[in-house]
Amino acid sequence: MIYEDLLVLWLAYLLWEFLPSYVFFEGAFVLKFILFIGKELSFFILPVILNKRFFEKYFLILSFIFFALDLSFFGLKGLLEPYYFSTLLILFWYLHYYIWIRIIYARLSLNYMRILLGLLLPFFILLTIDEILQYFDIHFSGQFLVLLILILIFTPYFVIKIWPVYKLPLSPLRETLLQFIKKEGIKIKEIYVIPTLGEKFYTAGVVGFIPPFRYLFFSKGLLEILDLDEIIGVVAHEIGHIKKRHGLYLFLLLLTFPLFLLNSFSLLFFPLPLIFKNSDNFLSFLKGPYGILFEVFLGICLLFLSFLFLRLILAYFMRSFEREADLYGLSLLQTPDPLITSLYKIGEISGQLYRKSWHHYGLWERIQYLKYASLNPWILQKHSFLIRKRILLWILFNLALLGVLSIFDSEMIDIILKIFIH
């Protein structure tokens, strides 16, 4: 669930950041206020009266429709955009939709909210520092990228402080895990345990990029259901993520997102320069009576392209990283049994053994692939080569396409840039 929550909040940020704010509803205040209250009431009543499965399936789309109405139709973006720290305010505003649904259907706990807040902390810190630098008119080359790298390096310390965790107590298990990690040449600062957050919360992971701020964590439920060999199998999987530098590759892939959007919009709206001649004429059109229709269409396209990038392109690479970590764990242990039995136990107890996963592959899929890979040990090397080749091809493709479009359709790119920068 945590991946879905992060995905949703990122999409909300993109909608706020890129949706133009030229046009909004100019009706009488009383009518506008009545419509706003009606919109709020309908969203909070719909989960109660509609079929649960229906609303769980479509509430994400509805939440973004309501959020887009807030930004454009009710003028929330135009109202808040001139002020500092408005991005933080608007994200909290979107959360009043999202958290309501999670409270109704997922029974969110306070500890879960602390987990989510910790994962969002680097993003919130980045936005805050960026706003402060803007306030004091401080700018330098590569500012955003430098800040992003520094925050990703140091914020894991604060993330762990926010999370509801405790250190894995002194025990034979702790000593065995530390010795295993040290033997594989990996350095971590500490091992933490997350208390039970729900009946399906069985997870483990690594937070942090550099050893002084790198932490290994397990959910309490996972430690309770797995034996020592299976826990070591889980750690071998996490070591695979570190050894194969998946954090770095994921960071590079996220940096291609703006290129993907720019290329997609340039291809989607290629006739615009022929119609409007230049970007200024197009911006004037957006401020006219028909501009709001195009604005709504633009918002829909933005959400669709963002969703496409996250759930298809980025998700493909995330699944590939997860498979590579499984294969690395297999090669490290020289047997698939600890990994297979741990995945099987998690699936059986959580009821998700045969459920598909857009970001990790399903548990049953992973089990079957581990069995196949144990009979074909050359798979790890081949998989590692293919995934890095595809990452390189994806980056080069976006750069090359942008280069071609800038030559043959430079006016279109100028229009797109002015729309989103305006």
Predicted confidence band at 199 (pLDDT cuts at 50, 70, 90)?
A: low
Q: Assess whether pLDDT exceeds 60 at residue 25.
A: no
Asked whether residue 155 falls in the same domain as residue 97, the answer is no
Mean pLDDT on 159-185: 94
DSSP 283-303: HHHHTSTTHHHHHHHHHHHHH
Residue 22 has pLDDT above 60, yes or no: no
Give the pLDDT of residue 69: 81
Identify the residue with better confidence: 180 or 2. Answer: 180
The size of the chain, in residues, is 422
| Separation between Cα atoms, residue 52 and residue 120, nearest integer Å | 28
> Which residues does 345 contact at the CB level (< 8 Å), separation at least 6?
225, 226, 230
State whether 25 and 147 are in the same domain: no
- Check: CB of residue 310 under 8 Å from CB of residue 329: no
Segment 118-124 shows an average pLDDT of 83
Last residue of a domain, one of 202, 225, 248: 225
* Domain stops at, among 173, 194, 225: 225
Given a contact cutoff of 8 angstroms between Cβ atoms, the answer to whether 25 and 291 are in contact is no
Q: Give 140-153 pLDDT, tens digit per residue.
A: 888 888 888 888 89
Residue linked to tokens 């890979």: 373
At residue 131, the pLDDT reads 83
Whether 23 has a pLDDT exceeding 50, the answer reads no
- Give Cβ neighbours of residue 141 (< 8 Å, ≥ 6 apart): none
For the cut 90, the answer to whether the pLDDT of residue 185 exceeds it is yes
Model confidence band, residue 397 (pLDDT cutoffs 50, 70, 90)? very high
User: What pLDDT digit, counting tens, does each position of 293-352 carry?
Assistant: 776 677 778 878 888 898 899 999 999 999 999 999 999 999 999 999 999 999 999 888
Per-chain mean pLDDT for the chain: 84
The 8 Å CB, 24+ separation contacts for 42-46 are: 43/97, 43/100, 44/100
Query: Are 358 and 393 in the same domain?
Result: yes
Specify whether 102 is located in the same domain as 119.
no
pLDDT tier at 51, thresholds 50, 70, 90: low
Q: How much is the pLDDT for 172?
A: 94
Assess whether 302 and 334 both reside in one domain. yes
Q: How confident is the model at residue 418 (pLDDT cuts 50, 70, 90)?
A: low
Q: For residue range 273-305, list pLDDT tens digits in order.
A: 666 666 667 667 766 666 667 766 777 788 788
Number of domains in the chain: 3
Distances (CA, A) of 407 to 273, 326, 373, 412: 14, 44, 46, 11
Is the confidence at residue 386, as pLDDT, over 80? yes
Note whether 124 and 103 are same-domain residues.
no
Q: Domain residues for 351?
A: 230-422
Q: What is the CATH number of the domain that holds 160?
A: 3.30.2010.10
pLDDT, residue 410, reads 65
202 and 340 fall within a common domain: no
List residues bridging with 191 in a β-sheet. Answer: 216
Q: What is the DSSP letter of 211?
A: G
Q: Summarize the confidence of residues 135-162 as an average pLDDT.
A: 86
Indicate if 414 and 366 belong to the same structural domain: yes
Looking at the structure, do residues 102 and 173 belong to the same domain, yes or no? no
Instruction: Judge if 170 and 200 occupy the same domain.
Output: yes
Looking at residue 87, its pLDDT comes to: 84
In the block, tokens 């500092």 appear at 84
Q: Are residues 258 and 407 in the same domain?
A: yes
Instruction: Give the residue-averaged pLDDT of 202-222.
Output: 92
List b or e across 289-313, with b for residues whose CB sees 16 or more CB atoms inside 10 angstroms: eebbebbbebbeebbebbbebbeee
In 97-254, the DSSP E strands lie at 166-167, 190-194, 204-207, 215-219
Q: Return the percentage of the chain with pLDDT > 90, whole number.
A: 38
User: Which of 89, 108, 127 represents a domain boundary (last residue)?
Assistant: 108
Q: Which residues contact 223 (CB under 8 A, 6 or more apart)?
A: 173, 193, 231
Query: Who has greater pLDDT, 388 or 138?
Result: 388
E strand or H helix at 365: helix 363-375
Report how far residue 394's alpha carbon sits from residue 305's, in angstroms, rounded to the nearest whole number. Answer: 16
Q: Residues 391, 320: contact at Cβ < 8 Å?
A: no
243 and 309 share one domain: yes
| Per-residue pLDDT at 54 | 62
